[in-house]
Amino acid sequence: MARPSYLFTSESVSEGHPDKVCDRISDEVVDAFFRIGPELGWDPAHLRVACETLATTNRVVIAGETRGPAQITKDLVAHLARLAIRDIGYEQDGFHWETASIDVHLHAQSAHIAQGVDAAGNKDEGAGDQGIMFGYACRETPELMPAPIYYSHKILKLLAEVRKSGKESALEPDAKSQVTVAYENGKPVRATQIVVSTQHAVGLSSAEVAEIVKPYATAALPEGWVDDKTVWHINPTGKFEIGGPDGDCGLTGRKIIVDTYGGAAPHGGGAFSGKDPTKVDRSAAYAARYLAKNVVAADLADRATIQLAYAIGVSDPLAIYVDLHGTGRVEEAKLEKALREVMSLTPRGIRTHLDLNKPIYARTSSYGHFGRAAEADGGFSWEKIDLVHALRTAVGV
């Protein structure tokens, strides 16, 4: 049985963290293909992107494989990277959107990979790679996310908003947060430790940074979660004036636990950013979250973990596994069968059901891919809870 009382910690990183800068640039490239390709007559199902980014002191390197219109040139990709860096807020000597050197090394997708993924004759589109993907949902927050990661994200999102608005101009883009949550009788009740490290303007002391940060971190948490017993660690190393890619090299796909559930649930291993939705690392993880969230929303369980497994070039998932952590009101084997009935879990089925062939990915690159509100243009479609009736009917509830 699960322990009733314990501490659990999750971390988040801001959009200005070096790895997140790279995730953002890679996803801007994905969005470019799904925005420009259809405008030029390309079927979105034929577009392919696998884009990796590295960022260091005043240098960005973008590499990978694509298939799409020739009008998406290296110069255009470099321009999109500069716009992303500017939007994040980097205008520093060591990393500046206007002066950084940007090298683009994108080339055509391997024909051998394409033959496994593309539909041909009676063959449906196959998965872009082998792999295992997990989805998770629980009742700890209204968004059905684990509390530690959800509130870690929320702290940094609030700080980013007041930085960009100019209200807190002393804050700089690079930041990290970490929240330790006390659980009593299985429910999150308060924050025992809060860590925030944020890049700041030259000359500020740690005490001055703490004076700025604490009210926003407190506001991000539920009422009563911060009390006189909460331990704070604000910029615990002291000065944090040199940040972003100038302070630490960044790479796409290096913050996968930040992107998902903060360690409260398994991660299959594959990163999301920079990948078009034929890559099941991304699309099947979105589908698994969608299914898990609908299972909990349908009151079939209080917690749900769902695993999907795929082989490259094969359409149907090799296996579906459900764990309701002892909270289920339906048999897990029965639910595994029902999931196949309510949604096609082939790569084509997932992309169609969740409408993923759209330029909706740059916005996912920071503050988590899950626990966000579904948007009118199709963004975060995997957060919808529109399968509740179908699931309850399929399991006979």
- What pLDDT is recorded for position 119? 62
Alpha helices in 166-303 (DSSP H): 206-220, 244-247, 256-259, 280-297
Name the band, by pLDDT with cuts 50, 70 and 90, for residue 158.
very high
Third-level CATH fold of 6-12+146-241: GMP Synthetase; Chain A, domain 3 (3.30.300)
Please give the Cα distance from 109 to 115 (Å, whole number). 11
pLDDT at 147 over 80: yes
Same fold, 6-12+146-241 and 131-138+279-394: yes
Q: Which of 384, 329, 335, 328 is nearest to 355 (CA)?
A: 384
When computed from its CA atoms, the radius of gyration of the chain, rounded to whole angstroms, is 21
Going from N- to C-terminal start, the domains of the chain cover 6-12+146-241, 131-138+279-394
- What pLDDT is recorded for position 386? 97
pLDDT averaged over every residue in the chain: 95
CATH match for 131-138+279-394 among 2.40.128.110, 3.30.300.10, 3.40.640.10, 2.60.15.10: 3.30.300.10
Q: Which of 272, 245, 276 is nearest to 257 (CA)?
A: 272
Three-class secondary structure of residue 151 per DSSP: helix
| Cα within 13 Å of Cα(306), Cβ side | 31
- Reported pTM: 0.95
Beta bridge partners of 182: 7, 190
Q: Which of 278, 272, 274, 280 is nearest to 307 (CA)?
A: 280
Q: Where are the beta strands (DSSP E) in the chain?
A: 6-13, 48-56, 59-67, 91-92, 95-96, 101-108, 131-138, 171-184, 187-200, 231-234, 250-251, 303-310, 319-323
pLDDT tens per residue across span 159-173: 999 999 999 999 999
Residue with the bigger pLDDT between 238 and 20: it is: 20
Name the band, by pLDDT with cuts 50, 70 and 90, for residue 118.
low
pLDDT tens per residue across span 265-314: 999 979 999 999 999 999 999 999 999 999 999 999 999 999 999 998 89
- What pLDDT is recorded for position 244? 97
CB 280 within 8 A of CB 133: yes
Please give the Cα distance from 271 to 259 (Å, whole number). 9
Whether the CA torsion 112, 118, 122, 126 is positive or negative: it is positive
- What pLDDT is recorded for position 123? 57
The number of residues in the chain equals 397
- What pLDDT is recorded for position 3? 83
